[in-house]
Amino acid sequence: MKNINIRGLNEKAKEKKGVSLIVLVITIIIVIILAGITIISLSQNAPIGKAKEATFKNEVTGLKSELEAYIAQQEIDTNGKFKRDEFNASGEELEKIMPSIENSDYLQKVEIVNGELVYIGNEKEEENWAKEIEVTKKEEMVALKEIEVGYEDVVGKIEIAEVKEGEKVEYFEVSIREENKEEKETKRITTSEKSANFSFEGLKEGTVYYLEGKVVLESTEEYEVNKKEIKTKEKEEVEVSENERPEVVSTKGNKSGEWIRGEEVLKIENTGEASKIEYKIDDGEYEEINRGSSISVTKEGETRITAKIGEKVSETYYVRIDNTEPEEYEPKIEKSKSRSKYRR
């Protein structure tokens, strides 16, 4: 019989066992690394979360489109008298405006405030998704309202829908920027109220501008308003007939340039058919007025009034008011009566 080297076999077995243990450790390490990579990949891609986000954004964007279509139809049906800034709706009222919302969870997640769709839900994730598609949370809803656009000016109101308990408004900011230009004019209105009036003057006629606004709370939280596009009015060319002749006359029988006391009331007239006349005071801007309308002048000193229709300009009417007592003076030697410069 052959002699078996038991000691050699034991050493080989130990060596084999050591190698297997090293392989096992390496394998475990590789598995852990692969698992970590898989978890990171899944957390970044989050296929379920991404699908939920895409669904939410698509459905809310669809609701916004339905709302815009409804408002556009209302403006047509009312000949432009529909006031979007005052339009509010919630709950079952939304079903008539946005049919696809019927029997959906969005009846408890959205409302219409000042003509805009806002998010009223409590899920932070959805709130962030809503912001990305320009749907703000109701408590953060800042709106530009009651906007009136003239030829060279615009006035309106900026308002925050709600302020959280314990919070206060510190100030509002409204800015205006002409289309295709970077420069903008900004006005800050300091107030603790939930709304403030604003105005901008010196604008160009028939020009597109963009209004933006924000409210800053005492906690330094800021909420921005959706950008609003406006267009200033354009003055139409007025065809002036030969008969048109604007004029300024005193309703008290006074004459241009005559010194008077108290108030002067002037009538802006026209000898032709045009019913609209423009007038200006001193070096101010021309304002439109109906033919036959009156204006009052009470400022002491000299005031100049001019009227025009198209390119036809009236003679300047001079109002001179002096309410002080005239100085007494001796009559001339000749027996002519002295005259005061004042018209009684």
Which tens digits make up the pLDDT trace of 232-252? 988 766 566 777 888 999 999
Nearest partner of 252 among 291, 304, 294, judged by Cα = 294
Contacts of 190-194 with C-beta under 8 Å, sequence gap 24+, read: 192/168, 193/169, 194/159, 194/160, 194/163, 194/169
- Indicate if the pLDDT at residue 198 is higher than 60: yes
Angstrom CA distances, 107 to 94, 96, 136, 189, 303, stand at 7, 12, 16, 36, 62
Identify how many contiguous H helices and E strands the chain contains and give both numbers.
4, 19
Residue range 72-107, pLDDT digits in tens:
999 888 888 888 877 888 888 898 999 999 888 888
pLDDT band at 14 (very low <50, low <70, confident <90, very high): low
What is residue 336's predicted lDDT score, i.e. its pLDDT? 43
Average pLDDT, the chain: 81
Residue range 122-171, pLDDT digits in tens:
888 888 888 888 887 766 667 788 899 988 899 999 988 777 777 889 99
- Name the strand (E) or helix (H) holding 213: strand 208-217
- Residues near 202 by Cβ (< 8 Å), separated by ≥ 6? 152, 153
Written as one string, the DSSP assignment of 64-113 is: HHHHHHHHHHHHHHTTT---GGG--B-TTHHHHH-GGGTTSGGGGTEEEE
Nearest partner of 218 among 190, 241, 244, 238, judged by Cα = 190
Identify whether the C-beta of residue 130 lies closer than 8 Å to the C-beta of residue 60: yes
Angstrom CA distances, 183 to 34, 150, 200, 253, 264, stand at 54, 21, 14, 51, 44
Domains in the chain: ranges and CATH? 55-138 (no CATH), 141-235 (2.60.40.10), 246-321 (2.60.40)
C-alpha torsion sign, points 168, 170, 174, 175: negative
